[in-house]
Structure 1
């Protein structure tokens, strides 16, 4: 992965797809698997140019000596825009999952002119239940990692992934293998990385009603992909977000949880390709028996 220098940091990134692709996508997070979502957006049917940017504080990106004063999510959002500036990218589609989606909410709020669209995957702002500095799950994972408590880390990740039916035996095996890798990656992070708590988007909103008022300010074409079994972002949180963001679209997957980007990337990619075609005016309209919409049936 190459390094992109910005004003006060260096960002480790990777790129996929052709330079002359019809759309440019940027995603940022603690790290990326190199396969799945969003990397797969560079392949058919979407064939976009995709940049994955490792967030400041992780991997080979710049390691701050202290948390940014404006908060991690806001800092990472600024870094994405600075990355786009450095690469000569004017407008782009931003997508992120979980904390990566939190970055997108800040770009959409602070720099909407830079976004052609925003795709949030399992990343609607969390329910407000009295604590707004971070999710309970994130705090538990940090504490368990610092204590070397592998079982608690695995238990928290299991909750995030969502429950499975007893007859989903093949899926159970795949989930167990995924969790083995996720636990190993968590335990292998160094202490500086492990202590980073990105917090919740918009912690100034202390109630769900206040959060909805903030989300109503977003004026970017927004797609939300949500898992009904998600153990950290509730279906209610995703529903609140889509009801608040003007002209937003949401797709809810009953069978999925928080790990959709790795477990079912192809389903996400199809939805993103459709959404981008819709905002570009290329999607086929829904077939109607009567295409004259001026007619009104009466009894």
Structure 2
């Protein structure tokens, strides 16, 4: 069974490809990304680790003492140690990206690069306990209408019948997933990355301390990770590179992963040259 055993939990993982570039990713669950990085043109060796609290990984009745994002980051490092990896590329989508930012700040020596997909730290307005959308989903107690409305805000607009059909399928899948959550899963609220930063200026100060090559992939129509947050990270993090898609929203990794793969192939080529 593909479980990684820690002293207190078991974490489910999957493995894809056999390439030389090792990529780790962690999240509540996965769609096609980042498994597609195992194929051409990137040809990576990909491991996806289901975050503690979700799915086939051990569920928790209370949040970790150190907070969800720091705990999930530590779990990724423990998994990397288990694999014998001194350094690796980390990629994450949305909250999975948040895990990567915490890794980059706390353990930069372990990351060859961070690839953040719609996952730059949120804009700040004083309250960093959660994004408004995540808080509404948690507080709804699995109310289908509330969950669907929040996902419609996240995704942004679509501009063709074909893309609208894909969006409807994406939202239906996400709503079903959340309605199927256990009570423990439904209560998880990881909060914003770097919650001690309560203003955009404080957040930029933290971002300037991150000493890891970072690729930022973001959507201009994202309803939760604003273009401004992506640009803030791109301006603040030394050696950062940002690609912003005008016609994408928060679900680009599910809806058009091939666009991400094309940019990542270029970036890995630059990184390794």
Same fold (TM over 0.5): yes
Q: Which residue of 2 aligns with 1:211?
A: 203
Distance across 2 between alignment mates of 1:260 and 1:53: 20
Q: How does 1:18-167 map to 2 (within 5 A)?
A: 18=18, 21-33=19-31, 36-144=32-140, 146=141, 148-165=142-159
Query: Is contact 1:6–1:86 with CA below 8 Å preserved after alignment?
Result: no
- SS of the residue corresponding to residue 117 of structure 1 reads strand
| Aligned-residue offset at 1:65 | 3.0
List aligned pairs for 1:228-243, cutoff 5 A. 228-243=220-235
Gaps of 5+ in 2: none
1:6 matched residue in structure 2: 6
Q: Is the 8 A contact 2:98 2:193 kept in 1?
A: yes
Deviations 1:145-200 (A, max 9, x none): x1x421111111011111123xx111111111121111111111111001000100
Distance in structure 1 (CA, Å) of the matches to 2:184 and 2:143: 17
RMSD: 1.0
Question: 1:188-230 CA deviation, whole Å, 9 max, x = no partner?
Answer: 1111001000100001001100000000010001000000000
Unaligned runs of 5+ in 1: 282-299
TM-score scaled to structure 1, two decimals? 0.89
Q: Secondary structure at the match of 2:174?
A: helix
Deviation string 1:19-58 (CA, Å, 9 cap, x unpaired) is xx1200000000112xx21010000001100000000111
Cα distance between partner residues in 1 of 2:66 and 2:162: 44
In structure 1, how many angstroms separate the alpha carbons of the residues matched to 2:47 and 2:195?
Answer: 28
Please state how far the C-alpha of 1:277 moved relative to its aligned partner: 0.7
What secondary structure does 1:225 align onto?
strand
How many pairs are equivalent?
273
Q: Judge conservation of contact 2:121–2:192 (CA < 8 Å) in 1.
A: yes
Q: After TM superposition, where is structure 1 displaced by more than 3 Å over at least 4 residues in a row?
A: none
Question: Do structure 1's residue 245 and structure 2's residue 237 form an aligned pair?
Answer: yes
Larger Rg: 1
Aligned residue number for residue 262 of structure 2: 270
How high is the TM-score relative to the length of structure 2?
A: 0.98
Shift of 1:273: 1.2
The whole-number CA distance in structure 1 between the counterparts of 2:87 and 2:162 is 42
- Segment drifting more, 1-10 vs 226-235: 1-10
Partner of 1:188: 180
Deviation, 1:130, is: 2.0
Q: Distance in 2 between matches of 1:214 and 1:196?
A: 25
For the 8 Å contact 2:61–2:184, the answer to whether it is kept is: no
- How many angstroms does 1:63 deviate by? 2.2
CA displacement 1:244-299 (0-9 Å, x = unmatched) = 00010000000000001111100101111111110111xxxxxxxxxxxxxxxxxx
In 1, Cα distance between equivalents of 2:89 and 2:7: 23
Range that drifts further, 83-92 or 216-225: 83-92
